[in-house]
Amino acid sequence: MLARAAGAETYVLCFTDGQAGHFRAGATADADLGKLRRAEMDAASALLGVTEHEVLDFPDGELAQQNFEKMVQIVVEKIRRWRPQVVLTFGSDGGVNLHKDHTMVSMVATAAFHWASRGELFPDAGPVHAAQKLYWVSTPFVSVRDRPELTRTAATVPWTLTLELNDNLANRKLEAFKKHSSQQGVLQRISDQVRNVMKTERYLLVAKRGIGRVEGDADLWDGVEDR
């Protein structure tokens, strides 16, 4: 949201439409839930002013069984078409709910970040593009349904960058979450934690152009050229 508020183009790619979700908002058929989730994504993206978003057709909950190279190729194609300077993705832990699909997306996006700049890889996926920074999103709490012990024992992604949202952006962020009406059960379960962290975003700088240690990373655009 900070990027969009600063006037940057923003793009979102989602691998599944959530048909296997536990919270279903009354949808009995998987296809009906998928349609609802896609409509929710449309509404949230419009509220946040996302430049372009896309939901793919991979099976929900089964990304670990899919062809890894094929998934990377798809993300490489998007990176080469959208030509981002900064790429954000889930942390390798799987995010706040440690979802294995989130972990797979993290691995796929990380590989694609690096491979999109190498012309010998996926030569038919468009002109190469070297994004300049890759961040994994970090969350300061864990909440996994029916697994309360993981809140204490799970290994999670630390953070190197902390960004503070003003009240307006924090409220818009919460409204975007609420657009995902079929997942209100999740929001209700973690409502206390969400209220405490809504104004703070945390990221781990995983890769950046050139060679060097992580130090003094002030914001998403720190060190980015031609922004």
Domain count for the chain, please give it: 1
Q: How many CA atoms lie within 13 A of 36 on its CB side?
A: 20
- Which residue range is the domain that position 180 belongs to? 2-208
* Domain assignment present for 80: yes
Average pLDDT, 10 consecutive residues per value, the chain (227 residues): 84 92 69 90 96 96 97 98 98 95 98 98 98 96 88 93 92 89 77 78 96 89 85
CB 79 within 8 A of CB 194: no
Rounded Cα distance between 15 and 188, Å, is 25
* Domain assignment present for 213: no
* Domain assignment present for 144: yes
Q: What's 143's domain CATH number?
A: 3.40.50.10320
* Domain assignment present for 92: yes
* Domain assignment present for 219: no
159, with CB counted inside 10 A (0-12, 13-18, 19+), is buried
* Domain assignment present for 223: no
pTM: 0.93
User: Taking the C-alpha atoms of 75, 76, 82 and 84 in order, what is their torsion angle to the nearest 10 degrees?
Assistant: 100
Start-to-end CA distance of the chain, whole Å, equals: 16
